[in-house]
Structure 1
């Protein structure tokens, strides 16, 4: 009986959380956009817009934890403090984007171009200076400019949420940025146990036993030389090779974590 009541509570709390997120997407721009437009333009406005997104996402994550929907652990978070990093993270669930941005007050982010067609999200995304992934060359130019200003740049190389049980598949955009700009990579490995809020799974399919657990591990930096990229090859081929290497890297880390968790 107690387990059933707990499940019912978590189902209601999950529905409430999604409602808060959706309503927030409608309400926040009503006061955030006028406030931001009244501030000085350029970097100052961008910093305030990113701080606003960070603050709301952090509140949302802490609310979900307080409601008993989720728990999370963070490892190596101090590695994200240095500015100007290229941060690549896997994308297992809806919540990992919110969690990662909620941890970084001034991070830039590559977002789906379709969000710019959302009337409620478009203005905030533009004011925050987030980079739309519509045009690969524009992404590269915007990434270069953002990193030169000392921003850290978050990219989810999968482009969409991964599907549990299927092999990890990365798009080449993130590797192209690393290769063309000759940047080291800061991997962030995210796991969700049991798999929750994954692709093609509705929000109300919650874990039967208790809250889901998220682990976010910030890994040591990977320099371009760590992947033994061939010299004097076109950037497109180098990006393809690096993408395969990154697929292997993230797959190994996820497998290792799953094995270690099973042994405990």
Structure 2
């Protein structure tokens, strides 16, 4: 009997995984022609507001669908405290591909820095362009576009690792977040994303099933003032992530993950 239950549960897990991915793809493809249609018809302000709201609603619906399966759980309520905050750079660590989905699903006015090739992606490109998301290159243009976007009171989602985490607890950080914060004089709000699964981490293929259930928790970290010296700021930020992701983790006992050596700040 137990063997039968394990087989049935494994089949259900596969169903949740694959139907979830198909559901997300269908939502993105359904929005693509509509986003292409309204892009030239709306002003930049209205297009940006509509594009960001639709992406937030779509991602929230997707995560709610996964939660309803009882095979994934998402504790994201901490992000709600940022909704009415003035302009911020939201800086999470980046354990998996769902990180941006989780953050955006709670915030109606957030620009996301995307890799340039994603801006032309059939699933994401049209919606990203309508929402006035920002390409990550060239760096000078990225900094200027991000600075201009803050004029509307928006938030900017930027992963300081630049790619998904491959070195626990955090990769070496990229300097672009310090440049934007310094140039725009906007604070950096750290966000700590934790999970008990390696699903969709770096190198994890899209259709490979992980052990389930999977749990995700997001909590707010320290808020950093705009830096005067970017190099010092980046060292302090990396030091903060490296320690806080271990000491405050919901899923790992204290000191169970390898610690980064202390840096002279």
Out of 221, 243, 248, the position equivalent to 2:239 is: 248
Q: Give the equivalent residue in structure 2 for 1:19.
A: 22
- Residue 34 of structure 2 corresponds to residue 43 of structure 1: no
- Residue 186 of structure 2 corresponds to residue 183 of structure 1: yes
- Residue 88 of structure 2 corresponds to residue 88 of structure 1: no
- Residue 120 of structure 2 corresponds to residue 117 of structure 1: yes
Q: Give the equivalent residue in structure 1 for 2:257.
A: none
Out of 16, 38, 58, the position equivalent to 2:60 is: 58
How many aligned positions are there? 250
Structure number with higher helix proportion: 1
- Residue 105 of structure 2 corresponds to residue 102 of structure 1: yes
Contact 1:93–1:192 (CA<8 Å) still a contact in 2? no
C-alpha RMSD of the superposition = 2.2
Shift of 1:100: 0.6
**What are structure 2's unaligned runs of at least 5 residues?**
255-265
Contact 2:92–2:191 (CA<8 Å) still a contact in 1? yes
Q: Give the equivalent residue in structure 2 for 1:234.
A: none
For residues 9-31 of structure 1, the C-alpha deviation after alignment (integer angstroms, 9 at most, x for no partner) is 11221011112222333222123
**What are structure 1's unaligned runs of at least 5 residues?**
230-237
Structure-2 separation of matches of 1:73 and 1:120: 26
Stretch moving more, 146-155 or 69-78 = 69-78
Contact 1:164–1:198 (CA<8 Å) still a contact in 2? no
Q: How does 1:218-257 map to 2 (within 5 A)?
A: 218-224=220-226, 238-257=229-248
For residues 29-58 of structure 1, the C-alpha deviation after alignment (integer angstroms, 9 at most, x for no partner) is 1234324544x3121111001111111111
Out of 65, 74, 77, the position equivalent to 2:79 is: 77
Q: Give the equivalent residue in structure 2 for 1:232.
A: none
Contact 2:25–2:123 (CA<8 Å) still a contact in 1? no
Say if 1:5 and 1:131 are closer, same or farther in 2 by CA, change over 3 A: same
Shift of 1:95: 1.0
The DSSP-based 3-state class of the residue aligned with 2:249 is helix
TM-score, normalising length: structure 2 = 0.85
Shift of 1:109: 1.3
Out of 27, 31, 36, the position equivalent to 1:33 is: 36
Structure-1 separation of matches of 2:65 and 2:6: 22
Shift of 1:260: 7.0
Say if 1:15 and 1:181 are closer, same or farther in 2 by CA, change over 3 A: same
